[in-house]
Amino acid sequence: MKALVLKDAGQIELREVPKPEVTAGKALVRIKAAGLNRRDDWIREGKYPNIKFGVTMGSDGAGIVESVGDEKDQPWVGQEVVINPNIDWGPDLEVQSPRYTILGMPVDGTFAEYVCVPVDRLHHKPFHLDFLQAASLPLGGLTAFRALFRRGELRAGQNVLISGFGGGVAQFAFLFAQAAGANVYVTSGSDEKLDKALKLGAKGAYNYKKQATFTDLWKTKGGFDLVIDSAGGDQINNFIKVLKPRGKIVFYGATNGLPSKLDLYRMFWNQLSLLGSTMGSDHEFSEMLKFVSKHQIRPLVDSIRPFSRIAESFPDITRPNKVGKIVFQV
């Protein structure tokens, strides 16, 4: 079968590999679609822990169960599924276990024609989604769901600011917050993305490259209950300034690195919270899929490409005008 393999540091290759053998407790899934994440590019660049060469990459996938290792799991055969990429989250809903990993590194993932996963990683594909839409859900959808609802404790009617609109997690945070009845605002460095957000129903959209952006946000909106961010860096202090008292910043990444300083005075006086978040538990994955089905949420798909183009598509992960996920038809 064809699979995208991490060949060496900085080198990926679409090549022939043996089809996985199904063992007890496992299911063989014929992948119909797979989604590309920023994590995949970090793995390619060697910026991720537990790197192993020769591993099939990819965490996001949807397909059809072809076979199972145990007779009791036969009802899964022929079912259309989306795969939970969590491995060993553990029993604590609040934090992952020391053994926690994600499908696609260091174990073989979804960038292949077939993947073998534990049966308990299988979930029925939401009926209103096709395989391409469903394949864009797992990593980004789960990360956004946890950041918004478990860590951010988002409620209907609150003002929420989503930074970096257009990215995989940010687009899900945007869609989920809207569905939950929040007043959703976004930032981006691209006016094209901001126009897209407004067309999708954002209450406001602001270019963070413009000096007056955060002053305007405070003056016109009166502050935010929650900020969802992936960049970190000195921008955190701008978010602190636009939070309401008791407001929260939930960050699920730090692509801009550490802030050179932190406005602790404003934080303690206004009773603010700065909270880290990553991925989510198996329970949250199930709840995320229920939420998507209940609200008939359709992920934003930037482009659909043949699987043969997957290796050449990695540079497009950071394309400035990308909105939503890049998805591959396998």
Q: Where are the beta strands (DSSP E) in 96-242?
A: 101-102, 114-118, 122-124, 159-162, 183-188, 204-207, 224-229
Q: Are residues 68 and 153 in the same domain?
A: no
Taking the complete model, does pTM exceed 0.85, yes or no? yes
pLDDT digits (tens, 9 = 90+) for 124-181: 999 999 999 999 999 999 999 999 999 999 999 999 999 999 888 999 999 999 999 9
The answer to the question of residue 263 being in a domain is yes
Contacts for 312-320 with beta carbons within 8 Å, 24 or more apart?
Answer: 313/36, 314/12, 314/36, 314/40, 314/41, 314/44, 317/36, 317/37, 317/38, 317/40, 317/41, 318/38, 318/41, 320/189, 320/190
Structural domain harbouring 257? 142-276
Whether 56 has a pLDDT exceeding 90, the answer reads: yes
Residues near 237 by beta carbon (within 8 Å), at least 6 away in sequence: 259, 261, 262, 263
Q: What is the DSSP letter of 238?
A: H
What whole-number percentage of the chain has pLDDT above 90?
Answer: 86
In this predicted structure, which of 108-112, 251-255, 295-299 has the lowest mean pLDDT? Answer: 251-255
Same domain, 241 and 316: no
CATH number at residue 210: 3.40.50.720
Residue 83 lies in a domain: yes
Residue 316 covered by a domain: yes
Residues 127 and 146 in one domain: no
* Domain contains 291: no
Give the pLDDT score at 102: 96
Segment 291-302 shows an average pLDDT of 97
Residues 157 and 263 reside in one and the same domain = yes
Answer yes or no: do 199 and 74 share one domain: no
Question: For 29-38, 114-123, 219-228, 316-325, which range has the lowest pLDDT when averaged over its residues?
Answer: 219-228
Tell me, yes or no, whether 267 and 321 share the same domain. Answer: no
Residue 224 bridge partners (DSSP): 243
306 occurs within a structural domain = yes
Per the structure, the count of domains in the chain is 2
Please indicate, yes or no, whether residues 269 and 306 belong to a single structural domain of this protein. no
Average pLDDT over residues 72-78: 98
Amino acid identity at 160: V
Q: Mark whether 59 and 166 lie in a shared domain.
A: no
pLDDT score recorded for residue 162: 96
Give the number of other CB atoms < 10 A from CB of residue 35: 30
pLDDT range class, residue 49, cuts 50, 70, 90 = confident
Inside any domain, residue 89: yes
Q: pLDDT (tens digit, 9 = 90+) per residue, 181-232? A: 999 999 998 999 999 999 999 999 999 888 666 666 666 567 899 999 998 9
Query: Do 74 and 157 belong together in one domain?
Result: no
212 shares a domain with 269: yes
Average confidence (pLDDT) over 15-25: 97
Domain containing residue 87: CATH number = 3.90.180.10
Task: Collect contacts of 213-219 with beta carbons under 8 A, ≥24 apart.
Answer: 213/187, 214/238, 214/241, 214/242, 217/161, 217/185, 217/242, 218/242
Residues 203 and 251 in one domain: yes
Which residue carries 């007056």 as its tokens?
212
Report the alpha-carbon distance of residue 293 to residue 296 in Å, rounded.
5
37 and 156, same domain (yes or no): no
Is 286 inside any structural domain? no
Q: Is 10 part of any domain?
A: yes
